[in-house]
A and B are shown apart, each in its own frame.
Chain A
Amino acid sequence: MPLDLRLEQRPQASAAWRYGAPLLAIAITLCAGAALFAVLGYPPAHSLKVFFIDPVSSVEGLAELALKATPLMLCAVGLSIGFRANVWNIGAEGQFVIGALAGGGLCLALQGDGGGWWLLPLMVVAGVLGGMAWAAIPAFLRTRFNANEILVSLMLTYVAVLLLQFLVHGPWKDPAGFNFPQSEMFAEGGLLPVLVEGTRLNLGTLVALAILGLAWAVLTRGLFGFQIRVIGQAPLAAAYAGFDQRRMIWASLLLSGALAGLAGVFEIAGPVGQLTPAIPQNYGFTAIIVAFLGRLHPVGILLGSLVIALSYLGGESAQILLRLPVAVAGVFQGMLLFFLLACDVLIRYRIRLGHSVRRAV
């Protein structure tokens, strides 16, 4: 009705557009971004350069890019498993926070005498278990009581963030911290080793890349990956083949919770080094964009996480150099997802403008 445009179904999904759509979406986002800058009264070309080129034109900048991409790829690869099976965990942000709390709390409790080499591995285990436990709540309520996992996992994100605020304002506040709402700094044993001197790039990024490789193998080569795809695309066929849907809901929520929790630990044991109210940086939400941008595929997610990480850095750069509010980054991220979803129509349909002759049935 409102648009004079017709969609004609392709006989086969277009592989070219499957990979072309994200590129087209990025291009449109850049054009729309230039227009947005112009409307806000900033020179478009210069602003885009400040936003997308300046942050990565140095070694430190590239290291920061990889650092920001790490939690995004971890959360996104977990979410992509669920999205493939039509299980919508959108509470990765909460699982991220609980992972950070579990790992950070353990570090604060055990680091009394400086901690040893064993501290970091224990924190990682605690963080993974924490994220899993938080994701187990929507899994249990969905499989046992049929409660919608989208709403439950999202509500739990608010609960997790409030819990973090309570802990850093109360019991876990650093007594010597001039009453700032933050914990003690973590001891050396609770921090990830830095990979490149002079940057903040740390071991967490390498682990995240290894996990992406593992996910690629599992999703494309294993029976588990096949079951996930069948359940997502043809639930009836999956039931007929005897794939257990409940098990799949549990598996995808626990896995994505574990990876979000891991991302949370890496964040506090890496660039942050303590617990603060500023730990939630929306990685859990923007990871949803990364997952779609990356076509729910590990290699795509790697590329997608770099794009979204760049938008974070660009937001910070634009805030400093152009005095733009940091929310501009969110607008870019949202626009990108919109344009991507719009471009995705090209995978399955041809667009015909104007009145076309209706096909004979």
Chain B
Amino acid sequence: MSPDVIAAVMMSVVAAATPLLLAALGELVTEKAGVLNLGVEGMMLIGAVAGFAAAMLTGSWIVGIVAAAFAGMAMALIFAVLALTLLANQVATGLALTIIGVGLSALVGRPFIGVPLPRLPQLYVPGLTDLPVVGRLIFGQDLLVYLSFALVVGIWWFLEKSRAGLVLRAVGESHDSAHAIGYPVIGIRYLATLFGGACCGLGGAYLSLAVTPMWAENMVAGRGWIALALVVFATWKPVRTLAGAYLFGGLAFGQLFLQGLGFSIPSQFLSMLPYVATIVVLTLISRDATRIRLNTPACLGKSYHPDH
């Protein structure tokens, strides 16, 4: 393969991996605080439609990105009020968030179907971006790709090295102890959930602003659920989430590669690949029950009420 082809392939891997990475990182922080928000798919859809609509109406992609983050947060806030304040079952509330995200995004997005939008601009540094192969890969990405890498480092530092991160983990491991020490369990969980929502909104916006710059009903197509599986796959560690997201990004390329080699596999079977791969990977990683138990935040999915 020529360097140009390799570079193009790598760019497509980045495009496929970034939405998964953004959403999975957000969910990771949420889950570290002990909150299981299964509404990732719904938050990504709302982020995708809000980002697209805002970018189109204002002509500014910065506004689009900010709108997507706030839209994801608004969805997460609904989840938080129900699951954290009103102590509703977290699994059921997350499913509700996805159901309403699918419906609401289709309703809001109807005027925008089929409207084209220029892609999110990519960085260009004269000289550096023109370098063969690595030039575009390192110096020719868009804002959200760089942001996703910054988030990996930032979240790793926050969770492993900062005091605030330690408190957040304590809340996720034992809410009773954290409460007894005097930390505001519910408040911290609110913040973690909102952060997760913002990241999921950004992940959705990456789909509608960069991967395929347009809005289509249900365009997230299960990526929110794959992101949820990635968090388990990564055993709640940010750097492994990065590796997992790029593994799945590479899978998207594998589909193109097989088609390019002239295998006459029906397109539907190629489209099954990410879903089947998710099941396989999830099974392999979960097989070691002890390891999963050691890494799962102990209070994940449990409601907290100070009177108990």
Contact = CB atoms under 8 A, between A and B. Distances in A.
Residues of B contacting A: mostly: helix
A325 interface: yes
Interface stretch (B20-28, B102-110, B146-154): B102-110
Interface residues of B, number: 54
A338 B110 contact: no
B298 interface: no
B271 to A, nearest CB: 5
A217 B129 CA distance: 70
Interface residues of A, number: 53
B95 A344 contact: no
B106 to A, nearest CB: 3
Given A1-B187, A327-B107, A155 B89 contact: no
B5 interface: no
A334 interface: yes
Contacts of A159: 272, 275-276
A2 interface: yes
Contact of A334 (B100, B184, B229, B283): B100
Contacts, number: 156
A162 B271 contact: yes
A288 interface: yes
Interface string A301-328: 0000000000000000000000001011
A158 B81 CA distance: 30
Interface in A72-108: 88, 90
Contacts of A7: 86-87, 305
Contact of A3 (B81, B99, B292, B307): B81
A61 interface: no
A166 B266 contact: yes
A111 B283 CA distance: 40
Given A154-B225, A341-B86, A170 B283 contact: no
Given A88-B91, A337-B92, A341-B92, 6 more contacts: A146-B289, A151-B225, A154-B225, A169-B268, A327-B104, A335-B100
25 contacts: A1-B186, A2-B85, A8-B307, A90-B95, A141-B282, A147-B279, A148-B229, A148-B232, A150-B91, A151-B232, A155-B276, A155-B278, A158-B221, A158-B275, A166-B269, A289-B99, A330-B99, A331-B107, A337-B95, A338-B78, A338-B82, A338-B93, A342-B81, A345-B86, A349-B87
Interface of A: 1-3, 5, 7-9, 88, 90, 137, 141, 145-148, 150-152, 154-156, 158-159, 162-163, 165-166, 169-170, 285-286, 288-289, 292, 325, 327-335, 337-338, 341-342, 344-345, 348-349, 359
